[in-house]
């Protein structure tokens, strides 16, 4: 028992420390996942040994005590936290638990919506005017940050009286999450690094840090945004459901995440919705760390009430984390396709979002220095979507003194040549185009899915082809014979056959894929598509001047310069010539002049259930339409799938016709 008592005490101590770091100082040291584990262990032990529960345990408290710089505001209705769920079973248990509590057969409806990673706020409106805005604080008393909140453009200062709909109550407290979009955060962090300020580790800290400014002019400069998701005190305005209430709140002028609030009638549907949100999580322009499940009927919410910390009628279903804490075993350097030397941290393996991560990028020497990352450091590692895992931050409190600083080499670790920095760049490069590392990476890029899509040419095989001297540049691939493969290690007849076939098949491609495959710097899949659309033939692109390139929508000076430099290099031109001679042919697009799509400009956002985005794009191009990356006055249609981004509101503002997946398909088939 003593042992358990001291474990409980130690856990409380640790949680209090991290609460302070997270809530009061906006400077978390451990990942959210790790915090959740500590918290769960504490609540488990307290449940098992109720005698050990104390009123000041962090399990009984919400967040941290308010900071003193802002005056305290007592919430009329406490701002509670949410119970957490991590597995499907937790959702089933939640459903069973609340039905048991209700004790009758009332059919329960749920809403499911994204859980936004930001800071909770309360806005008080008296007679339609914003009077007080406050943080959650400890749940009962928050901080008065009215002056700062008033600088957020999406916070209404006065409410709108709807023409038809519920009138604005004389007193209404609206709650929601203030957050910063991912791109805005990156931009802010770049600026901060430039000013020698530490970057914000996540959107939550950025939002919290921006709101807690003593000078509202600083808050005003931060691109903050708000989604509303609930109310505190509200006079009159009796609603039947949460969903209806959100519709009214939106009519009064608040920003509500309406397209993403789904109504479900069974726990199975709830699970499905949560899974879907997790799948499309990386497509949101803002960070979401879970789904919030709420009972839709407000009378049932009232009957269910709350426990000490959280309501019985809601659950936060947390997604698998994208950040974890681990240790750097050593740092070494990789040489990429363009010769760039990238420092890579080799990690004690750690599972992040269901994938074991052993390596993370450190980007370049500047980043290492700014973050002060050293070998043997304990670090926060992030893996999101398909992006390469990266080291976000060092956990300084775990430093022992044994850590070693890392300095970038002066010679290429693969070919041994001197490395150099180009003017205006921070990356070091190996300038030797024949460096085996560059050759291998270029080949890997050339055969990759979005490029020539040659299946079966993996890492090992590519390395062997280079080692045996069979391939020096991509064009060599098209001269390989069946027997060449057979001569290699572990290649059977069948695979040699498949490979020969895959290489042959890749000869029929599109101009866009081919341009992308060339690996011209700054020319990704999207830009390659723009270039292909514009020039239609390789020879036109080859001969293009910077001026011509700059005139194309979506091509900036960096890209234009890179393209001209690429084609002014004789060996690159020769390489293109060799590829074409090998028999690479481009499927020419037939551009009809009639049909509903011809001549129209489309922008896509979110994911379509019926086809991949690249496929949708090809369909549009094939029918003589154009695809652009951003909404402008010349946009005709926005195709909005699941999880639309900021383009959606942009299109709404500009009055662009918005099509859902089905409407888009219909349009494609309209003569
Ligand atoms: S509803 C009774 N809905 O998550 C609590 N909260 O971990 C009602 N959050 O304190 C909260 N997105 O700061 C709700 N769509 C959403 C949310 C959301 C983010 C935050 C909020 C809350 C915390 C709980």
pLDDT 10s digits, 463-483? 888 888 899 899 999 998 888
The CATH number that applies at residue 25 is 1.10.287.610
More confident residue, 335 or 589: 335
Q: If you write DSSP's letter for every residue of 44-96 in order, what string do you get?
A: HHHHH-GGG--TT-GGG--S-PPPTTS-EEE-SS------EE-SHHHHHHHHH
Domain boundary among 297, 318, 339: 318
Taking the CA atoms of residue 176, residue 181, residue 182 and residue 185 in that order, the dihedral angle to the nearest 10 degrees is -100
What integer pLDDT is reported at residue 63 of this predicted model? 55
Identify the band that residue 65 occupies on the pLDDT scale cut at 50, 70 and 90: low
Number of domains observed in the structure of the chain: 6
Residue 100 sits in the same domain as residue 204: yes
Residue 66 lies in a domain: no
Residue 591 lies in a domain: no
Residue 67 lies in a domain: no
Ligand 1 lined by 32 (C-beta under 6 Å): no
Residue 365 sits in the same domain as residue 501: no
Ligand 1 lined by 80 (C-beta under 6 Å): yes
pLDDT 10s digits, 270-289? 999 999 999 888 889 999 99
N-to-C CA span, the chain: 78
Bridge partners, residue 230, by sequence: 175
Give dist(CA 593, CA 635) in Å, integer.
Answer: 18
How many angstroms is it from 560 CA to the middle of ligand 1?
Answer: 46
Domain boundary among 303, 318, 333: 318
Ligand 1 lined by 81 (C-beta under 6 Å): yes
| Residue of 99, 115, 370, 398 with catalytic role | 115
- Residue 448's CB is within 10 A of a number of other CB atoms, namely 16
Helical H segments across 280-430, by residue range: 298-304, 365-371
How many angstroms is it from 356 CA to the middle of ligand 1?
Answer: 30
Ligand 1 lined by 335 (C-beta under 6 Å): no
pLDDT 10s digits, 478-503? 998 888 888 787 777 788 888 899 99
- Pick from 80, 177, 302 the residue to mutate for probing ligand 1's pocket: most ligand atoms within 8 Å of its CB: 177
Taking the CA atoms of residue 574, residue 578, residue 580 and residue 582 in that order, the dihedral angle to the nearest 10 degrees is 180
Give dist(CA 255, CA 649) in Å, integer.
Answer: 11
Name the residue range of residue 351's domain.
Answer: 323-429
Give dist(CA 577, CA 583) in Å, integer.
Answer: 10
Q: Which helix (H) or strand (E) holds 416?
A: none
Q: What share of the chain is helix, strand, coil (3-state, %, to 5)?
A: 40, 20, 40
More confident residue, 133 or 106: 133
490: exposed, middle or buried (C-beta count within 10 Å: 0-12, 13-18, 19+)? exposed
Domain boundary among 318, 347, 369: 318
Classify residue 587 by its DSSP letter: P
- Pick from 82, 138, 173 the residue to mutate for probing ligand 1's pocket: most ligand atoms within 8 Å of its CB: 82
What integer pLDDT is reported at residue 404 of this predicted model? 95
Taking the CA atoms of residue 18, residue 19, residue 23 and residue 25 in that order, the dihedral angle to the nearest 10 degrees is -40
Q: If you write DSSP's letter for every residue of 103-157 in order, what string do you get?
A: -S-PPP-EEEEEEESSEEEEEEEETTEEEEEEE-TTSSEEEB-HHHHTT-TTS-S
The CATH number that applies at residue 397 is 2.40.50.140
pLDDT 10s digits, 13-30? 898 888 777 765 667 788
Give dist(CA 83, CA 77) in Å, integer.
Answer: 18
Residue 231 sits in the same domain as residue 306: yes
Q: Counting atoms of ligand 1 from 1, which one is nearest the CA of 311? A: 2
Residue 515 sits in the same domain as residue 498: no
Q: If you average pLDDT over residues 247-251, what whole number do you get?
A: 92
Residue 384 lies in a domain: yes
Residue 485 sits in the same domain as residue 419: no
**Residue 392: closest CA among 322, 494, 454, 333:** 322
Which residue, judged by its Cα, is nearest atom 16 of ligand 1?
115
Residue 370 sits in the same domain as residue 442: no
The CATH number that applies at residue 651 is 3.40.50.10190
12 phi and psi, to 5 degrees? -60, -45
Q: Counting atoms of ligand 1 from 1, which one is nearest the CA of 84? A: 7
pLDDT 10s digits, 399-457? 999 999 999 999 999 999 999 988 888 889 999 988 989 999 999 999 998 899 998 88
- The answer to whether residues 98 and 267 touch, using CB atoms and an 8 Å cutoff, is no
Q: What tokens were used for 108?
A: 């329960």
Q: What tokens were used for 38?
A: 């500590």
- Pick from 179, 316, 318 the residue to mutate for probing ligand 1's pocket: most ligand atoms within 8 Å of its CB: 316
Ligand 1 lined by 446 (C-beta under 6 Å): no
Does the pLDDT value for residue 387 go beyond 80?
no
Does the pLDDT value for residue 188 go beyond 80?
yes
Residue 281 sits in the same domain as residue 339: no
Does the pLDDT value for residue 64 go beyond 70?
no
How many angstroms is it from 239 CA to the middle of ligand 1?
Answer: 20
Residue 465 lies in a domain: yes
How many angstroms is it from 591 CA to the middle of ligand 1?
Answer: 50
Q: What tokens were used for 270?
A: 């709830």
Q: What tokens were used for 194?
A: 């430039």
**Residue 75: closest CA among 141, 147, 169:** 141
Q: Which helix (H) or strand (E) holds 31?
A: none
What integer pLDDT is reported at residue 422 of this predicted model? 84
Ligand 1 lined by 230 (C-beta under 6 Å): yes
- The answer to whether residues 200 and 212 touch, using CB atoms and an 8 Å cutoff, is no
3-state secondary structure of 600: coil
What integer pLDDT is reported at residue 23 of this predicted model? 65
Sign (positive or negative) of CA dihedral 100, 39, 25, 64: positive
Which residue, judged by its Cα, is nearest atom 2 of ligand 1?
80
Ligand 1 lined by 113 (C-beta under 6 Å): yes
How many angstroms is it from 214 CA to the middle of ligand 1?
Answer: 25
Among 292-306, 393-407, 654-668, top mean pLDDT goes to: 292-306
Give dist(CA 249, CA 241) in Å, integer.
Answer: 12
Does the pLDDT value for residue 175 go beyond 90?
yes
Give dist(CA 66, CA 507) in Å, integer.
Answer: 65
Residue 136 sits in the same domain as residue 84: yes
- Residue 411's CB is within 10 A of a number of other CB atoms, namely 12
203-211 helix and 182-194 helix, angle to the nearest 10 degrees = 70
Sign (positive or negative) of CA dihedral 539, 544, 549, 552: negative
Does the pLDDT value for residue 647 go beyond 90?
no
119 phi and psi, to 5 degrees? -125, 135
Residue 140 sits in the same domain as residue 48: no
Least confident range of 267-276, 491-500, 516-525, 582-591 = 582-591
Ligand 1 lined by 231 (C-beta under 6 Å): no
How many angstroms is it from 313 CA to the middle of ligand 1?
Answer: 12
Long-range own/partner contacts, residues 388-392 (CB < 8 A, 24 or more apart)? 388/360, 388/361, 389/352, 389/357, 389/359, 389/360, 389/361, 390/360, 390/361, 390/362, 390/363, 391/328, 391/345, 391/360, 391/361, 391/362, 392/201, 392/323
Instruction: Quote the radius of gyration of the chain (alpha carbons, Å).
Output: 28
Give dist(CA 184, CA 187) in Å, integer.
Answer: 5
What integer pLDDT is reported at residue 24 of this predicted model? 56
Residue 335 sits in the same domain as residue 194: no
Residue 117 lies in a domain: yes
Which residue, judged by its Cα, is nearest atom 12 of ligand 1?
115
Q: If you average pLDDT over residues 78-84, what whole number do you get?
A: 93
**Residue 619: closest CA among 645, 592, 646, 658:** 592
Least confident range of 135-149, 337-351, 597-611 = 597-611
Residue 330 sits in the same domain as residue 456: no
Residue 13 lies in a domain: yes
Does the pLDDT value for residue 565 go beyond 70?
yes
Least confident range of 70-79, 196-205, 468-477 = 196-205
* Cα–Cα distances in angstroms (integers) from residue 613 to residues 176, 259, 510, 560, 620, in the given order: 32, 20, 16, 26, 11
- The answer to whether residues 629 and 593 touch, using CB atoms and an 8 Å cutoff, is no
What integer pLDDT is reported at residue 160 of this predicted model? 87
202: exposed, middle or buried (C-beta count within 10 Å: 0-12, 13-18, 19+)? buried
Q: If you average pLDDT over residues 125-152, what whole number do you get?
A: 93
211 phi and psi, to 5 degrees? -75, -30
Identify the band that residue 6 occupies on the pLDDT scale cut at 50, 70 and 90: very high
Classify residue 476 by its DSSP letter: G
Identify the band that residue 246 occupies on the pLDDT scale cut at 50, 70 and 90: very high
- The mean pLDDT of the chain is 89
222 phi and psi, to 5 degrees? -90, 130
Q: Counting atoms of ligand 1 from 1, which one is nearest the CA of 113? A: 15
Residue 286 lies in a domain: yes
Give dist(CA 490, CA 38) in Å, integer.
Answer: 48
Which residues, other chains included, contact 104 with Cβ-Cβ below 8 Å and sequence gap of 6+? none
| 115 included as an active-site residue | yes
Residue 12 sits in the same domain as residue 56: yes
More confident residue, 134 or 193: 134
């Amino acid at each position: 028992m003593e042992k358990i008592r001291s474990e409980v005490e130690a856990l409380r101590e640790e949680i209090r420390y991290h609460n302070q770091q997270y809530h009061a100082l906006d400077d978390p040291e451990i990942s959210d996942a790790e915090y959740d584990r500590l918290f769960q262990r504490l609540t488990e032990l307290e449940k098992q040994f109720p005698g050990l529960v104390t009123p000041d345990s962090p399990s009984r408290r919400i967040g941290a005590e308010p900071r003193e710089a802002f005056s305290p505001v007592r919430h009329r209705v406490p701002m509670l936290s949410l119970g957490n769920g991590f597995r499907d079973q937790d959702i089933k248990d939640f459903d069973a638990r609340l039905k048991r509590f209700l004790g009758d057969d009332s059919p329960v409806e749920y809403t499911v919506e994204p859980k936004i990673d930001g800071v909770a706020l309360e806005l008080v409106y008296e007679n339609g005017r914003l009077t007080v805005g406050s943080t959650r604080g400890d749940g009962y008393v928050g901080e008065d940050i009215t002056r700062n909140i008033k600088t957020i453009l999406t916070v209404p200062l006065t409410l709108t009286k709807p023409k038809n709909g519920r009138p604005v109550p004389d007193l209404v407290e609206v709650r929601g999450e203030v957050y910063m979009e991912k791109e805005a955060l990156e931009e802010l962090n770049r600026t901060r690094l430039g000013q020698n300020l530490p970057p914000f580790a996540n959107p939550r800290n950025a939002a919290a840090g921006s709101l807690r400014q003593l000078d509202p002019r600083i808050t005003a400069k931060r691109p903050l945004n708000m989604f509303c998701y609930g109310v505190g005190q509200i006079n009159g305005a009796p609603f039947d459901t949460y969903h209806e209430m959100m519709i009214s709140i939106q009519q009064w002028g608040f920003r509500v995440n309406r397209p993403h609030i789904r109504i479900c009638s069974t726990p199975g549907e709830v699970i499905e919705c949560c899974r879907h949100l997790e799948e499309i999580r990386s497509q949101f322009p803002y960070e979401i760390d879970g789904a919030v499940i709420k009972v839709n009927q407000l009378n049932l919410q009232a009957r269910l009430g709350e426990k000490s910390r959280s309501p019985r009628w809601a659950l936060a279903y947390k997604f698998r984390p994208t950040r974890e804490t681990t240790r750097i075993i050593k740092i070494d350097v990789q040489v990429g396709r363009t010769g760039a030397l990238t420092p890579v941290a080799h990690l004690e393996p750690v599972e992040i979002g269901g994938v074991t991560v052993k390596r993370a990028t450190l980007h370049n020497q500047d980043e290492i220095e700014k973050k002060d990352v050293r070998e043997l450091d304990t670090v926060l590692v992030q893996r999101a979507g398909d992006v390469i895992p990266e080291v976000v931050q060092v956990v300084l409190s775990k430093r022992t003194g044994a850590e070693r600083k890392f300095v970038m080499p002066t010679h290429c670790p693969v070919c041994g040549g001197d490395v150099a920095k180009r003017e205006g760049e921070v990356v070091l490069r190996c300038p030797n185009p024949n460096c085996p590392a560059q050759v291998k990476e270029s080949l890997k890029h050339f055969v990759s899915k979005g490029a020539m899509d040659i299946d079966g040419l993996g890492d090992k095989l590519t390395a062997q082809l280079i080692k045996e001297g069979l391939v020096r540049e991509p064009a060599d691939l098209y001269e390989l014979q069946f027997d060449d493969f057979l001569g290699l290690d572990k290649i059977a007849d069948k695979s040699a056959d498949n490979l020969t076939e895959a290489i042959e098949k890749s000869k029929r491609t599109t101009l866009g894929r081919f341009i992308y495959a060339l690996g011209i710097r700054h020319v990704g899949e999207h830009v390659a598509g723009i270039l292909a659309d514009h020039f239609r033939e390789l020879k036109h692109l080859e001969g293009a001047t910077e001026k011509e390139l700059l005139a194309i929508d979506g091509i900036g000076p960096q890209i234009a310069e890179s393209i001209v430099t690429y084609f002014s290099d004789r060996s690159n031109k020769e390489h293109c010539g060799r590829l074409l001679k090998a028999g690479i042919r481009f499927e020419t697009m037939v551009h009809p002049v009639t049909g509903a799509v011809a001549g129209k400009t489309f922008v896509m956002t979110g994911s379509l259930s019926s086809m991949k985005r690249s496929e949708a794009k090809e369909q549009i191009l094939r029918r003589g339409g154009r695809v652009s990356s951003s909404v402008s006055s010349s946009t005709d249609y926005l195709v909005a799938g699941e999880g639309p981004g900021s383009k959606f509101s942009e299109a709404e503002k500009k009055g662009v016709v918005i099509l859902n997946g089905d409407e888009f398909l219909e349009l494609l088939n309209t003569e």
